[in-house]
Amino acid sequence: MSQFSLSSFAPVADQIFVAVAEPAGVNIGLVVGPEGALVIDTGSSPAQGAAIRAAAEAFAGVPVTSVLVTHWHYDHFFGLAGFAGLPSFGHESLLPWLSRPETAQAALDLGVEPSELVGPTVTFSLAKVLDAGGRRVEALHFGPAHTDGDLVVYVPDAQLVFAGDLLESAGPPSFGPDCRLRDWPIALDGILGLTREETRIVPGHGPVMDRMDAFDQRSRISALYGQVEYVIGLGKKVEDAYAAAEWPFEEATVRAALPVAYAQLAAAGITPKRQLPLLGAN
């Protein structure tokens, strides 16, 4: 794996900071309260997690007292073992991911022993109020989207949202095989329901976003799914889909998303039908 580095923590709201962990470019959140701090996402290995914990503690001037993982992907989740001994929070779907072959393979690809990975000490299905060292923070799940268990962290006193990879500003959203394209806009409606004009949103990767950015990404993801339904309705096979419509993302993003979308629609019984020429209308 290429070299780990962690940027300094930069302020994004009152006593809330973000540092970027490379090589994945993942945003690490730090919510500082009077008596402790909450870290959001953990880097790509237990060693990275431990380094992030130490850097967060040195910066915040209070102990890190809890940690939350937004979803199972390696750059957010695999550092959790570096936070041993702390209460850790994640969606209940993280636990089954620990024993799946995709997770083990992702770990081995990074030089991490799958047996070193740990799950959160506290899991939940929909919502949980967290104590960030005396500061109220809410963790929410709006249904499957980027993965089956994305968590959004909302800090009401700062009008700040951590969106995990439900939103991205470093590049387009990541449409992996475990995403749920149809449901993704619904989860973003959940985020939009939390926001006001002044709300700021920290995506999983890239600079801070605002409400209009979230609206824009929601409409593009919804349009992507709609266009896939449209080209399937035209009878287009996946390899012919790109040329058959206009798309709300750049070509490489769409071409990567198409097989995922086709597979998901096929699982729902929606497949391209061969269009027979109409011979003699009656």
User: Applying CB under 5 A, which residues contact Zn ion?
Assistant: 73, 165
Question: Tokens 């081995």 correspond to what residue?
Answer: 108
Q: Does residue 133 come out as left (phi exceeding 0), alpha (psi in the -120 to 50 range) or beta?
A: left
Backbone angles phi, psi at 11, to 5 degrees: -70, 140
By C-beta, is 24 or 67 nearer to Zn ion? 24
By C-beta, is 45 or 65 nearer to Zn ion? 45
Helix (H, G, I), strand (E, B) or coil at 61: coil
- Nearest approach in angstroms of CB 90 to Zn ion is 13
By C-beta, is 179 or 261 nearer to Zn ion? 179
- Nearest approach in angstroms of CB 146 to Zn ion is 6
Helix (H) / strand (E) element for 22: namely strand 16-22
- Nearest approach in angstroms of CB 230 to Zn ion is 27
Task: Looking at 113-173, list the stretches that DSSP marks H as alpha helix, in order from N- to C-terminal side.
Answer: none
- Nearest approach in angstroms of CB 217 to Zn ion is 14
By C-beta, is 179 or 238 nearer to Zn ion? 179
Q: Identify residue 178 by its one-letter amino acid code.
A: D
HSE-CB for 198 with a 13 A CA cutoff: 5
